[in-house]
Every structure is written in C-alpha cells, then in structure tokens.
Structure 1
Amino acid sequence: MQLVSSNKGKLPRYMGSSSILILFLQFLSFFTFFMFVPTISTHFNQTVGFSVGFVGLILAVRIISQQGIMIIGGFLADRIGFKRTALIGFLMRGIGFASLGLTTHPMLIIVAAILTGLGGALFSPALKANLTALTPPERHKEVFSLMNIVENAGTVLGPLAGLYFKDESFLILSVLAGGLFVFLSIVVFFLPQATLPSKTSSWIQESTDIVKNKQFMLLTISLVPFHFIYQQLYLTIPIVADKVSGSSGWIFSYVTIIIILFQWPLLLYTKKRRIEHLFICSYFVILAMLLPNAIENQLWSLVLTLTGIAIGAMVLLPVFQSYVAKIAPKESLGAYFGFSNMAMALGGSLGNLAGGFLYDFFVKIHSPDKFWLALSLFTLLPIVLLFKVQFYQPKQGN
C-alpha cells in the first residue's frame, strides 16, 4: 500500500485535512516539549540552586500526574468530547510551562509541574481517539505509524531548537513553550466536533469492562518491559555512552533518525502479521541486541542496543495503538487509549526506580555487565506472556 495516492503529489484519501491537523498538533507538542523540558533540571539545579533531589521530584510529579492520570483523561474525552478535552489539556500545559519560568517558589513550581502533567493526560488520549474516529479502520496501522514518525521528528528537532537558548534565557523559553501550547489550543478549534455515541455505563462499569478484556490486558502488560528498557535512554545508557564515546548527546538523535527513516518500510513488511507474533519477534530482536552489552561495553554493542530499542519502538507502539483503535468500542475510544498508557506509566516508573537501583547495585559489586544481562532476561517475561495472547480473541469495537 503506498503512502501517496496515484495522483502524484497528493496525500491518500484517508488522510483528510482533520487527520493532517492532528498530526501537526502531535508534532508541535512533541517539538515544544523536547525544546523546553531538557532545560528544566539545569535551570533549577545550577541557576536557581535547588538540590538534585528536588529537581527529580519536579520531574517525577510531572510524569505521575500525566501517565498515571491519563485514563481519567480518556474517560473525560468520551463524555465531553475529544475536541474540548484536547483544548483544555493544551491550555493547562501552556499555563504550566509558562509558570515554571515565572516562579522560584517550591510549592508553585510543584503546582506548575502538576499542571503540565495533567494537560498531557487530557490531550494525548483525546487526540488519539479523535484520529481513530477520523480514519478508516483498515488504515489505523498506517496512520499511527505516521504519528510515530512525526512524534520522533519533534523529538529530534525540539532539543536542537532549545540549544539556541542560554541558561539565563529560561524565562523566555518557558513563556515561548507555554505560548506554543496555548497556540495549539487555538488550532484545536479547527478540528471537527466528533459525534460521540451516548454513554450508558458509569466510569466504574467501563473500567470493569476494559479489565475483563483479557487479550487487551495481556498486551498492555506485555508492553511494560519495553517501556522499562526504553527509559534507560534517559538513565543508564547516557552513562555508558559517555564512557565509550565521550558524549551522550547523540543517542536520541540516532534512535529517532532510525525511526524516521525505517518506520514506514517496516510497517509495509509487518502490517498483515498477527500482533502477538510481532510482539514476540520484537522482543527477541531487543534481547539479541542487548546481550552484546553484557559481554563488553563498546561503541558497537551500544549502537546495537540503540538499534534494538528503535526497532521495538517502530513495531510495538504503532501496532499496539492500531490494535486499541480496532478493538475499542466507539463510545470508549478515549478510555481505552487512556488505559493503554498504563504500560508506559508502570514501565517508565519502574525503569527509573528499579533500573537505577539495579545499575548502582551491579556497579557496586563491580559487575556492570550483569545489568545488561538482567535487562536481556527481562525481555523473556513478555515473550512467555504473549504465548497466552493467542488464546483470547479480541472483541471488535462497535
């Protein structure tokens, strides 16, 4: 299936203006986020003088208030509308980002961090549910692959834009980032208002129905190890990169460029294969590319690890989002997308806490190579779990 239609220069019919607008919103939100957020720790630690522990608390509060609350954002989107929920979310993040540069009072900083997280918890499931509603079911995997590409493009270009701002320009950068999210809330006005099916079940009943979908739950749980491993890009992999190459600034650029270049060809190769088979194959690839680091930490073994993580991101994330779009009832799209994010919340949190503890432990006993062996073995858990998935047939969305 081609990315463009037979009419040269035109986008395929399933990519209407509203779908393109949502992809633009996703790109600019990722671009702005990664332009601003990497400067937070440096500013509050080195310029303002807060401890590293307090800076870690700021970042943890933002993550928890977004990833842990996203299911509520999904429930809300199903009830008041995708457009309205996204608009409120963008406004909240805009106010939160701008506030981080306007205050140095600890409690106000925490409140601002919570606002930024809650904003993401609202607009993220709302936009994904809206994109699903606007796209023909047979094109979900393609459009979510495109979303993965534009998100990674924002991830690459955002930090490059942030380099133009010096440490003393944090106030300007925070207000600019906040202003861009307010601008996104204005852009949301141009999205069509999706017609929501009437809701007859309560939030509790809807949550119960989601948990009873065994295949969905197993696939969601099986993504936890991937997010655990992916989080090492922020935590332990930069340490290894500094040792073997003298710098860690290139690792994100490498991963995201791989995704941008190979996401679409990989989609064409995998789109007709069963989701559990794709998950199992992806974890075997990640396993194979983590093991060399357990033998020796060299540049070539690190590049293999990064490539394995990139392949996992290219296969697991868009395939899973397409699956969620396929099995979620129309009246519960937001709730399913919000609940599916629990894998990232749990895996990311454990990746930071348990990942850091494990790395420190193995370094302390002079066996850092065993950390990578432990990560490799961790990939076997979802492989075992995924063999059970095939016994549960998904319930199709209404």
Structure 2
Amino acid sequence: MASVSHARRMGKYFLLLDNLLVILGFFVVMPLISIRFVDELGWAASIVGLALGLRQLTQQGLGLFGGSLADRFGAKPLIVIGMLLRALGFASLALADSPWILIASCVLSGLGGMLFDPPRSALIIKFTTPQERGRFISLMMVQDSAGAVLGALLGSWLLSYNFQWVCWTAAALFCLAALCNALLLPAYRLSLRRLPMRVGMHEVLQDRRFVWFVLTLSGYFVLGVQVMLMLPILVKEMAGSAQAVGWMYMLDSAIALSLLYPLARWSEKRFSLPTRLIAGLSLMTLALVLVPLAHHLLALFTLIGVFYLGCSIAEPARETLITSLANPNARGSYMGLSRIGLALGGMAGYLGGGWLFDLGRHGDWPALPWLILGLVGVLTLLALAWQFRRPRPSKLAELSAYPVA
C-alpha cells in the first residue's frame, strides 16, 4: 500500500513538471498567432481562425483515436511521439509565409496533441484518488494560468525581436518535455486491462449520456477559445501594443493564483459540480456580451477579469465531472472522446469568431460577434441544465445531487 501511495505522489510531481513545460511551450506562441498574421501581416482573421480551428479539430476531434491507442500501447510512447510532433509543428510556423503553410503547421501541431493529450489526462485519474482529484485538477489549473502568463510574456518579448524566435522557443520547450517523459515516466498502463482499440472506442461510444454531455460542452469552448483569437486582437488594438496581450494573461494568472484553488475548496463543500459549471459559464457569457460597451482599456480588462473568474469557477468543475464519469476499463478512450466538445467548439469558435470579427469590422457591426457568442452561451446553459435535471437515473444525475469533495 505504501508503494502505491509513493508511486501516486511521485506521479503527481511529474505531472506538474510535465504540465509546466507544455503550458509554457503552448502559450509562448499560440496567443501571438492572431497578432502576427492578422495585425502585423494583414491577413484576414477568418483565414487565421481556420488554421487555429483545424488545429483544435485535429487534436481534439481525433482524441478518441489517441486515447484508444494509449489504452492499447500505454501512455509513454504516445506522449513522447506526440510532443515531438508538436515541436515540429511549432518550428514550422517560423516558415509560414502563406496560408497553406500556416494551416499545415497548425494541423501537424494538432496531430501531436491528439497523441499526447488523452494519455496525460488519463494519468491524472491514475495518480489521484476520487477525494483529492478535484483539488489536484484545480492546482494544475493554477499552474496553467501562471505558465500562460509567463509564456505569453516571453512570447511577446521575443516577438519584438523576431517571430521565428517565438516559434523556435516553443518547439524547444516541447522537445524538453518529450525528453523528460522519455527519461522519467514509467511505462504505465492507463486502463485496468489492455484493450484493443476497437473495444475501447466501442465502450465509450455506447455511453450515450457521456457522449451527449461532452457534445454539449462545445458551446462552452466556443466562448473559451476567444482568449486566443478575438480578445488578443481587441486588447492589442485598444492598447496599441502587443505587450498588452501579456497583461491580459497576467490578469488571468493573478485571478487564478489568488482565487482558483480557494474557490474550488470553498465551493466543493457547498455546491454540486454541475452548479459550479453553470455558474462559471454564466459569468463567461455575461462578460462577452458586454464587451461592445467597453470603450477604453480599463473597462475591457474588467470584463476580461469577469470572464476569467467564470473560467476559474467552471473549469475545475468541468474537468472533474469528466474524470468522474470515465470508465476505468477504458480511461484513455473516455478522456480522448471527452475532448470532442473542445474540437467542435474550438473549430466553430475560431472559424466562426474570425468570420464574425471580419464581418463586424467591415459591416460596421462591432457588437455582432459578441452578441452571437452570448446567444451560444445561453443555449449551452439551457442544454446543460436540461441534462442535469433529466428524471432518469444516471451518473450525471447523481453528481448533480450533491457536492463532490
């Protein structure tokens, strides 16, 4: 028993190290893509949105295949290969002087994420008990926020010299993460038994409640991805400096470091996971709807702060809900399919957001994209409320009935 406890403790330390490198590598370059190609090079936001959306769709939409491969072959080989592919995709961004190169680089990056993301998420389930899982996920999200601001600040500083340095730094961080996984991560199995791909995929696809729940989360992610597309463009335009994007992520970090973990500890004893998810999504929706009323930088940053507060409430609840619903016989497959909402919502958020942003700008309807986002948020809230209140017994209904520690 002591050896199991020691393995779990060491596994959690490794996950925190691995997560820090991944977050730094991602946020060094990703928030600056829209600034580089839309603001600096004058490309259409819809083109850049298409490239970002295809990365999201490739990584998350094919997550079921990545998760099923991890159930079959274990976590380590999938994570190492995936991180090297991500590094290659980010390095090739330095050569992007036409839309097709940008799109190819983003798709290659997405394929890498498709391989490493589901097994990394499944390792969280393996290394934590149900009682501590929600708090550990909250701790990782605090780390995400701190890593995001450090990465964005580093990327903004490198962008003032050369965009190629931004891309090469991101690639180097993912190479380092791949090396750490290759040297330090034992060859763990993710599920209780080694499943053929077909069996793992069938197991999760038969769970109708889980499938509908993760599909409904598409609307949540349509809102969430705007911190990578429309909000950085708006902040840069209003501030007149790309460094202001770093301030945006610094605000996220400040809110997460000061509030995310205490909020999770306080709310888990008083509110169910679905209640916390709905409350956070409501704040996110309200903040985006009010963006057209922000005519100066302080007002915009206040609304971005409300949006990040909503994320801090919703994200730990959303991720804990998903891990609580995963079948131990096919953890990789469940965590792979759980990303389908991010795939569809990310694609719609990037492509639709970019198109609406261009339409609003050229048609003199600047409020249009934000009102559409508000409508998406309201429809998602209604769909989630309906699922959590369905009369037939299910694990979702059980989780909505009481707080989960």
TM-score category by the smaller chain? 0.7 to 0.9
Checking the alignment, whether the CA contact within 8 Å between 2:134 and 2:320 is kept in structure 1 is yes
Q: Is 1:69 matched with 2:66?
A: no
Match in the other structure for 1:198: 193
Residue 4 (structure 1) aligns with: none
Partner residue in 2 for 1:132: 125
- Aligned in 2, Cα 1:163/1:338: closer, same or farther, shift over 3 Å? same
Counting aligned pairs with the same residue, the percent is 27
Give the conservation status (yes or no) of the 8 Å contact 1:241–1:299.
yes
Change (3 A) 1:103 1:287: closer
1:267-301 residue CA offsets vs partner (Å, 9 max, x unmatched): 01222432222222223333443444455645454
SS at match of 2:158: coil
Match of 1:354 in 2: 352
In the alignment, residue 303 of structure 1 is paired with which amino acid?
F
Query: Take 1:36 and 1:122, find their aligned partners in 2: how far apart are those partners?
Result: 20
Establish whether residue 259 from structure 1 lines up as the match of residue 256 from structure 2: yes
Q: Deviations over 1:86-140 (max 9, x none)?
A: 1111222223333444797987776554332211111111111112101111111
> Aligned pair 1:96/2:89, yes or no?
yes
CA distance in 1, matches of 2:47, 2:281: 35
Partners of 1:266 and 1:321 in 2: how far apart?
A: 15
Change (3 A) 1:351 1:36: closer
Matches within 5 A, 1:294-305: 297-299=295-297, 301-305=299-303
**Does structure 2 retain, via aligned residues, the 8 Å contact 1:240–1:297?**
no
Q: After alignment, is 34-43 or 17-26 more displaced?
A: 34-43
Which residue of structure 1 lines up, in the alignment, with residue 111 of structure 2?
A: 118
> Counterparts of 1:50 and 1:357 in 2: how far apart (Å)?
15
Shift of 1:366: 4.2
Q: Please tell me whether the aligned partners of residues 218 and 386 of structure 1 are also in contact (alpha carbons under 8 angstroms).
A: no
Q: Is the contact made by 1:152 and 1:259 (CA closer than 8 Å) also made in structure 2?
A: yes
Say if 2:118 and 2:332, in contact at 8 Å, map to a contact too.
yes
Q: Does 2:142 match 1:149? A: yes
Looking at structure 2, the residues matched to 364 and 113 of structure 1 have their Cα atoms a distance apart, in angstroms, of 27
**Matched position secondary structure for 2:395:** coil
| Higher relative contact order (Cα pairs below 8 Å, separated by 6+ residues) | 2
AA at the equivalent of 1:353: L
Name whichever of 97-106 and 205-214 sits farther off. Answer: 97-106
What SS does the aligned partner of 1:94 have? helix
Normalized against structure 1, the TM-score is what? 0.82
The answer to whether the 8 A contact 1:244-1:298 is kept is yes
Which of 266, 269, 293 is 1:269 aligned to? 266
SS at match of 1:310: helix
In the alignment, structure 1 segments of 5+ residues that lack a partner are 1-11
**1:79 Cα deviation after fit:** 1.0
Q: Is the 8 A contact 2:159 2:166 kept in 1?
A: no
Look up the match of 1:393: 394
1:33 aligns to 2:26 (yes or no) = yes
Secondary structure at 1:193 match in 2: coil
Q: 2:76 aligns with which of 83, 103, 116?
A: 83
Counterpart-to-counterpart distance in 2, 1:153 and 1:160? 11
Q: Aligned pair count? A: 383
Between stretches 118-127 and 226-235, larger displacement belongs to 226-235
Q: Which amino acid aligns with 1:281?
A: A
Instruction: Label 1:170 to 1:320 Cα distance change in 2 as closer, same or farther (>3 A).
Output: same
1:276-295 equivalence runs, <5 A: 276-293=274-291
One-letter amino acid of the counterpart of residue 83, structure 1: K
Distance (whole Å) between structure 2 residues aligned to residue 263 and residue 114 of structure 1? 32
TM (norm. structure 2) is 0.80
Shift of 1:325: 1.8
Deviations 1:147-203, CA, capped at 9 Å, x for gaps: 111122111101222344366655555444333322212211312332443245653
- 1:313 counterpart residue number: 311
Corresponding residue number in structure 2 for 1:380 = 378
Which residue pairs with 2:340 in the alignment? 342
Of stretches 298-307 and 72-81 in structure 1, the one that deviates more from structure 2 is 298-307
Give CA deviations for 1:349-379 in whole Å, capped at 9, x if unaligned. Answer: 1112222333444555544335433333332
C-alpha separation in 1, matches of 2:383 and 2:96: 47
For 1:209-240, what per-residue CA distance to the aligned partner results, in whole angstroms no more than 9, with x for missing partners? 43443442343233222221222223333454
